[in-house]
Amino acid sequence: MKYALVTGGSRGLGRAICVKLASQGFKVLINYVSNEAKAKETLELTKQAGQEGELIKFDVANYEETTAAIEQWLNDNKGEYIDVLVNNAGIRKDNLLPLMPKEDWAAVTTITINGFYNVTRAVLPKMVRKKHGRIINMASVSGIIGLPGQTNYSASKGAIIAATKALSKEVGRKNITVNAIAPGFIRTDMTEGLPEEELVKTISLGRFGEAEEVADLVSFLASDSAAYITGECIAITGGLMG
């Protein structure tokens, strides 16, 4: 059995990724932090897709909680390991920098950057021992071009892209690939309430993306077909005109 851990798997992109990986035959560990009802819906959808997953609750921003949950799973599943890690959990708290409370700076940077460290640090040693693994980090186009009102989010996603490149060089010889994905505007709770009519004018394809379209890219990067791709950040934006 091959296992995949998707952080923030209860809703949005994470849910679509869990379902797609389940249809590929992965047993998916569906992480969430608070929304148990939504996480259970994702669990049911993985079952319908062909491979029932399991729920694993932890706050990616909390080192002790994350480490304990992953160690517990590894103890309960002796001999197994997490072959695919999708670092997807994230939030946004937009504001112009002079108006941004320090709590909002800290929340976004901690969940994204420390979250990447906390989860990857716990999962990676077994991948290294097994000499196989795929790490896929959810960045954003905001981390490439920078978007006004999102200095906390752009800084965090830019850091994730840099971390992706650095880590790919550390673990390539262990047959582990590390890539980032940089979506533009994708229809989820996170983009709810944005002025869609205005924003689509800046997108070549003239529409927001769907979570399933990002999940297809994750599925490709997790597959054997992507074995020679590492250290990359792949944008999926419908042709966002910067």
190 forms part of the interface with ligand NAP (CB under 6 A): yes
Please tell me the distance from the alpha carbon of residue 169 to that of residue 237, in angstroms, as a whole number: 26
- What are the start-end ranges of the E strands in the chain? 3-6, 27-32, 54-57, 82-87, 133-138, 176-183, 233-236
Would you call 153 a catalytic residue per the annotation? yes
32 forms part of the interface with ligand NAP (CB under 6 A): yes
Smallest separation (angstroms) from ligand NAP to the CB of 159: 12
Angle at 227 between CA 222 and CA 231, to 5 degrees: 85
143 forms part of the interface with ligand NAP (CB under 6 A): no
Q: Please give the C-alpha separations between residue 105 and each of 111, 139, 143, in angstroms, as whole numbers.
A: 10, 17, 15
Q: Binding segment for ligand NAP among 18-26, 57-65, 123-131, 225-233 (CB under 6 A)?
A: 57-65
Please state the φ and ψ torsions of residue 2, each to the nearest 5 degrees: -100, 135
Q: Binding segment for ligand NAP among 3-11, 19-27, 162-170, 221-229 (CB under 6 A)?
A: 3-11
7 forms part of the interface with ligand NAP (CB under 6 A): yes
Q: Residue 127 or 214: which CB sits closer to ligand NAP?
A: 214
191 forms part of the interface with ligand NAP (CB under 6 A): yes
Judged by CB under 6 A, the residue of 4, 5, 89, 233 near ligand NAP is 89
Q: Residue 45 or 61: which CB sits closer to ligand NAP?
A: 61
44 forms part of the interface with ligand NAP (CB under 6 A): no
160 forms part of the interface with ligand NAP (CB under 6 A): no
Residues 6+ apart with CB under 8 A from 142: 150, 153, 154, 157
Residue 203 DSSP code: B
Amino acid at 227: A
Amino acid at 133: G
Q: Residue 132 or 146: which CB sits closer to ligand NAP?
A: 146
29 forms part of the interface with ligand NAP (CB under 6 A): no
70 forms part of the interface with ligand NAP (CB under 6 A): no
**Taking the C-alpha atoms of 56, 86, 183 and 171 in order, what is their torsion angle to the nearest 10 degrees?**
150
The burial of 30, by beta-carbon neighbours within 10 Å (0-12 exposed, 13-18 middle, 19 or more buried), is given as buried
Which residue of the set 63, 117, 153, 228 is catalytic? 153
Residue of 167, 166, 83 whose CA lies nearest to 127: 83
Smallest separation (angstroms) from ligand NAP to the CB of 185: 5
Residues serving a catalytic function are 153
Contact residues for ligand NAP, defined by CB under 6 A: 7-8, 10-14, 31-35, 38, 59-61, 88-91, 111, 138, 140, 183, 185-186, 188-191
